[in-house]
Amino acid sequence: MTSDPKQPFKLPLLPPQFKTEEIITKELVQLLIKANSSLAELNGTCRAISNPYILLNIPMLQESVASSEIEGIHTTVETALEEQVKAVGEQDPAGKEALRYREAINSGFAALDKYSLSTRTILSIHEKLMPQGGGKFKQQQNQIAKGSKIIYTPPAPPDINELMSNWEKYAHAEDEGFDPLIRVAICHYQFEAIHPFSDGNGRAGRILMVLQIVKDKLLDFPILYLSGYLNRHRDEYYRLLSSVTNDGKWIDFIKFMLQAIHEQAQVTKDVIFKMMSERNKLKKKLRKDFNSIYSPDLLDHIFNFPVTYPTFMAEKMEITYQTASKYLSTLEGAGILAKKKSGRHILYYNVKLLACLRT
């Protein structure tokens, strides 16, 4: 399969041309069992949570930050949480990119029931990621370079529609004979090899991978923090992608992706468990020591928005500015929240919840 990296790659259509017995080794079966088991545990943890907004906010933002990091866009979860409560014109560019990624995940998740993993869903995800000129397949040939060296030239623009139609059909195949997670790995390689957009292909591909897991009913919410693993093993990830392109070495890439799913399902589950543990502790403390201000809405706000400020809280909770200021000042005085200046705002931080996100 080795080709000239300076010429558009003639990407074979799916399914891959290998025999099932070449892929389904004892080691791979063990990885499949671990990955599926970890996903089941993560999904069970999520189903026990009464407030799903927390799942659609903070763990997704962790994924957004890690995915942006892979693309060289550097921020932190804490910074992104700061940016989400500010007006768009005040937001830091890197934080804004992470928020767009989370918005794209949510948009794709909302579209799954109606459009599944269709071209329409894919284009809408890309439009959220790239509001300036996104939402359409590339019209000009692009290339991937490392320094000044061209390392890969994706398929030519006239081939994109056929390749993406083939990708969509394979992603929805149910009689392939492979476990759905193997198909997830194959689809992820194929999307990145097609490279259908002028920019944003990596971020779009990582979102599609998690949405495919949801489509296959292995998770109820698209909260798997896969980019954390890919970021930690970035060189190996890119090497294995290239090894499929150049040498047809599917099995090593598939094993890598299964390991990523297994490990990150456990990481995500642990983060969610810690978050909910802190929430329960704080609920008890507020009821016991601050019963005069406690309400479920207050508890939800400081967990849904671990970084907040009076005007934002007043708007979200539909209370007065004075009441919001009183709540925040009381909780800051008790050491539950910490405050610091950011731009023109005095922001309040849920200290223990943010500590969960740094571990």
CATH code for the domain of 57: 1.10.3290.10
**In a shared domain, residues 244 and 298:** no
Residue 306 sits at φ, ψ, to 5 deg, of -65, -15
Q: What percent of the chain has pLDDT over 90?
A: 70
* Predicted local confidence at residue 310, as pLDDT: 96
The pLDDT of 143-147, averaged and rounded, is 91
**Window from 45-49, 256-260, 309-313 with minimum mean pLDDT:** 45-49
The pLDDT of 164-171, averaged and rounded, is 96
The pLDDT of 292-314, averaged and rounded, is 94
Range of the domain at 235: 20-269
CATH number of the domain bearing residue 299: 1.10.10.10
What band does 301 get if pLDDT is binned at 50, 70 and 90?
A: very high
- DSSP assignments along 227-250, one per residue: HHHHHHTHHHHHHHHHHHHHH--H
d(CA 164, CA 232): 29
Count the domains in the chain: 2
| Amino acid present at 182 | I
Mean of the per-residue pLDDT values for the chain? 91
> Are the C-beta atoms of residues 248 and 12 closer than 8 Å to each other?
no
Q: Which residues partner with 152 through β-bridges?
A: 144
The pLDDT of 314-338, averaged and rounded, is 97
> Are the C-beta atoms of residues 346 and 325 closer than 8 Å to each other?
no
d(CA 152, CA 137): 18
* Predicted local confidence at residue 299, as pLDDT: 94
> Are the C-beta atoms of residues 92 and 143 closer than 8 Å to each other?
no
| pLDDT higher than threshold 70 for residue 2 | no
Is the residue at 189 inside a domain?
yes
- DSSP assignments along 258-295, one per residue: HHHHHHHHHHHHHHHHHHHHHHHHHHHHHHHH-TTT--
d(CA 197, CA 68): 17
Is the residue at 43 inside a domain?
yes
**In a shared domain, residues 252 and 310:** no
**In a shared domain, residues 79 and 151:** yes
**In a shared domain, residues 109 and 230:** yes
- Boundary of a domain, candidates 269, 301, 316: 269
Higher-pLDDT residue of 345 and 8 is 8
- Closest to 279 (Cα-Cα) out of 247, 295, 303, 261: 303
- Over residues 13-45, the pLDDT tens digits come to 999 988 777 778 899 999 999 999 999 999 999
Neighbours of 359 (CB within 10 A): 8
**In a shared domain, residues 152 and 213:** yes
- Over residues 214-233, the pLDDT tens digits come to 999 999 999 888 999 999 99
- Closest to 67 (Cα-Cα) out of 36, 99, 35, 92: 99
* Predicted local confidence at residue 1, as pLDDT: 52
The pLDDT of 186-212, averaged and rounded, is 96
- Boundary of a domain, candidates 269, 299, 333: 269
**In a shared domain, residues 218 and 354:** no
What band does 171 get if pLDDT is binned at 50, 70 and 90?
A: very high
**In a shared domain, residues 347 and 212:** no
- Boundary of a domain, candidates 234, 269, 304: 269
d(CA 153, CA 203): 18
* Predicted local confidence at residue 17, as pLDDT: 85
Residue 9 sits at φ, ψ, to 5 deg, of -75, 135
**In a shared domain, residues 255 and 295:** no
**In a shared domain, residues 28 and 172:** yes
* Predicted local confidence at residue 133, as pLDDT: 86
Cis amide bond preceding 296, omega within 30 = no
- Kind and range of the H or E run holding 80: helix 77-84
**In a shared domain, residues 219 and 130:** yes
**In a shared domain, residues 337 and 192:** no
- Over residues 100-132, the pLDDT tens digits come to 999 999 999 999 999 999 999 999 999 999 988
**In a shared domain, residues 185 and 316:** no
